[in-house]
């Protein structure tokens, strides 16, 4: 089985909306029959961002630009199909003999890109390295130990049941498996600028500010890829990227701005289906000011018309959402949540009840990136005014917003930071609720006590059914207490490609570009 062949990946069925004007991954015009696949060629793909802090190091990097590259170069133990169901990857079988133990049987025909064989020791090394302060270590808080119980068998032991572990090891960007030999002996610079994984393509050159080049892995364990090379070219200005698309300088591109992706579609490119996996999260400082009162927070939520934000401010390129985002397999139906359906009269009543009929609230948002999201905040300002709430918008450079969460300084009433997709549903709220969480200003606040308890219960769930039920309860409680505001969920990015040149490609709901393993170019 080729673990990365996902022909025909559709957007998740969980509240994933079709992008306005797109054709469900089909080309705008008539498409010629591609014929039989042809080996060879270089695919040029335009992107608006390159990896930042941590570079490409799969144990450190957390930026989406890095995760997308690493998910092509590295594999995980398990993966997920179109519907979010777990499937084999580097592990062929898995079982839970008791609530505190997971056992995985590994493939015995895999080598890393440098030719060294993959075995249980590499899995143990990868998980122990992550647990010792690597990125996503929070997913392993209940793991007591991991051991090789055979050359190709690994056993995980937990201190308590962990309802999120199977989600984590099957997520595309969470637990990449590295070579103990290659990664362990590499310098920090080598780890950040090259890859030595088991995936179909490996990074061989990174010219910072210009491009990242990936070459076919001759030792790949799946079906041999058709493409020889993939070059991700950097276009920080998305309008310049659109011009490159229209001029034919690239065969594929990724846009944050859905309206620019639609212009690319109008130029003849295929616009892929998009899953709304990224919340436009707005984090609350309840320690002082109007939002310390739950009735003011509830009024704020009731005054928002999220449907209008999606259709008007985001031109239909978004979905109504709460936490987790609408495109996540564990997402609740936002329509069922308390204080989520607009009711301006009730919002006014709650403000009067709180003794704050005309509160003034300041929202800081990133003024120098994600420009496509700014209309959401401006429309929120108009909607809130109808309930008597004055929303002051403070455009703040990203460099000034980041320290808010590392030092706690310069907090305004609200801070907007688009979220990243998480491996499991409860982890969208963990940074908000748990002690030490980067977005947490709720320590000691009784309004968050029940939600915190539900989060811990969900993490310790003993069955998928129990976990799903607790996630729904957690979302309901978080909405009841208005612990976070989410005006909408958006795709991580929109993908377009020239289907007269690039064949066999489909967008996937996990933004991993997995179909590149089996895509090919007309010669």
Q: What would the pLDDT profile of 43-72 be if each residue is shown by its tens digit? A: 999 999 999 888 999 998 878 889 999 999
Residue 229 parent element (H or E):
strand 229-234
Say which residue, 399 or 149, is predicted with more confidence. Answer: 149
Assign 30 a pLDDT band (cuts: 50, 70, 90): very low
Rounded to whole angstroms, how far apart are CA atoms 347 and 356?
11
Beta-carbon count within 10 A of 463 CB: 12
Beta-carbon count within 10 A of 480 CB: 16
Rounded to whole angstroms, how far apart are CA atoms 69 and 64?
9
Task: Work out the widest C-alpha separation in the chain, in whole angstroms.
Answer: 71
Q: What is the pLDDT of residue 417?
A: 87
Q: Do residues 387 and 394 make contact, with C-beta atoms less than 8 angstroms apart?
A: no
Best CA proximity match to 176, nearest among 108, 126, 114: 126
Rounded to whole angstroms, how far apart are CA atoms 422 and 168?
9
Q: What is the pLDDT of residue 300?
A: 98
Q: What is the pLDDT of residue 275?
A: 87
Residue 140 parent element (H or E):
none
H helix count then E strand count, the chain = 15, 22
C-alpha dihedral (268, 520, 420, 325), degrees to nearest 10: 70
pLDDT of 32 strictly over 70: no
Write the DSSP assignment of 233-252 as a string of letters: EE-SSHHHHHHHHHHTS-SE
Lowest mean pLDDT, pick from 83-92, 395-404, 419-428: 395-404
C-alpha dihedral (18, 22, 24, 27), degrees to nearest 10: -170
Q: 279: which 2 tokens?
A: 């919340």
Q: What is the arithmetic mean of pLDDT over 512-523?
A: 93
Q: What is the pLDDT of residue 85?
A: 86
What are the angstrom distances between the C-alpha of 277 and each of 324, 350, 452? Answer: 8, 32, 23
pLDDT of 448 strictly over 50: yes
Q: With 0-12 CB in 10 A as exposed, 13-18 as middle and 19+ as buried, what is 345?
A: exposed
Q: What is the pLDDT of residue 136?
A: 78
Rounded to whole angstroms, how far apart are CA atoms 383 and 377?
10
């Amino acid at each position: 089985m080729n673990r990365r062949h996902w022909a025909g990946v559709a957007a998740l069925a969980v509240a994933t909306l079709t992008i306005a004007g797109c054709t469900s991954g089909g080309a705008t015009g008539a498409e010629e029959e591609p014929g039989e696949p042809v080996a060879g060629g270089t695919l040029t793909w335009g992107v608006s961002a390159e990896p930042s802090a941590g570079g490409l190091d799969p144990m450190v990097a957390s930026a989406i630009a890095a995760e997308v590259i690493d998910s092509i170069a590295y594999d995980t133990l398990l993966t997920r199909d179109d519907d979010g169901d777990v499937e084999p990857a580097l592990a062929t079988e898995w079982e839970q003999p008791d609530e505190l133990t997971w056992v995985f049987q590994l493939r015995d025909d895999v080598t890393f890109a440098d030719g060294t064989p993959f075995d249980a020791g590499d899995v143990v090394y990868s998980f122990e390295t992550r647990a010792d302060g690597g990125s996503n270590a929070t997913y392993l808080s209940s793991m007591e130990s991991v051991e090789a119980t055979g050359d190709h068998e690994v056993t995980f032991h937990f201190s308590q049941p962990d309802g999120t572990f199977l989600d984590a090891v099957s997520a595309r960007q969470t637990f990449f498996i590295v070579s103990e030999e290659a990664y362990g002996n590499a310098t920090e610079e080598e780890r950040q600028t090259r890859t030595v994984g088991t995936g179909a393509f490996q990074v061989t050159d990174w010219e910072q500010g210009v491009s990242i080049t990936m070459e076919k892995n001759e030792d790949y364990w799946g079906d041999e890829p058709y493409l020889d090379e993939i070059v991700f070219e950097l276009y920080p200005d998305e309008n310049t990227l659109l011009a490159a698309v229209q001029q034919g300088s690239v065969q594929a591109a990724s846009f944050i701005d859905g309206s620019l992706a639609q212009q690319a579609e109008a130029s003849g490119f295929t616009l892929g289906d998009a899953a709304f996996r990224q919340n436009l999260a707005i984090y609350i400082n309840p320690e002082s000011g109007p939002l310390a009162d739950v009735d003011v927070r509830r009024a704020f939520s009731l005054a928002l018309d999220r449907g209008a934000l999606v259709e008007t401010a985001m031109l239909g390129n978004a979905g109504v959402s709460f936490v987790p985002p609408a495109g996540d397999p564990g997402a609740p139906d936002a329509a069922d949540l308390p204080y989520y359906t607009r009711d301006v009269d009730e919002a006014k009543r709650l403000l009067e009840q709180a003794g704050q009929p005309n509160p003034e609230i300041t929202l800081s948002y990133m003024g120098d990136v994600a420009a496509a999201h700014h209309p959401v905040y401006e429309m929120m300002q108009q909607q809130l005014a109808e309930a008597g709430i004055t929303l002051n918008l403070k455009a703040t450079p990203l460099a000034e917003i980041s320290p808010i969460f590392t030092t706690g300084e310069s907090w305004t009433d609200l801070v907007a930071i688009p979220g990243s997709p998480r491996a499991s549903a409860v982890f969208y709220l963990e940074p908000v609720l748990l002690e030490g969480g980067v977005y947490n200003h709720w320590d000691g606040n009784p309004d968050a006590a029940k939600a915190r308890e539900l989060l811990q219960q969900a993490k310790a769930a003993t069955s998928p059914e129990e976990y799903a039920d607790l996630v729904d309860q957690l979302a309901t409680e978080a909405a009841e207490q208005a612990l976070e505001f989410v005006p909408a969920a958006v795709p991580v990015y929109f993908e377009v490609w020239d289907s007269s040149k690039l064949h066999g490609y489909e967008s996937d709901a996990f933004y991993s570009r997995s179909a590149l393993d089996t895509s090919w170019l007309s010669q």
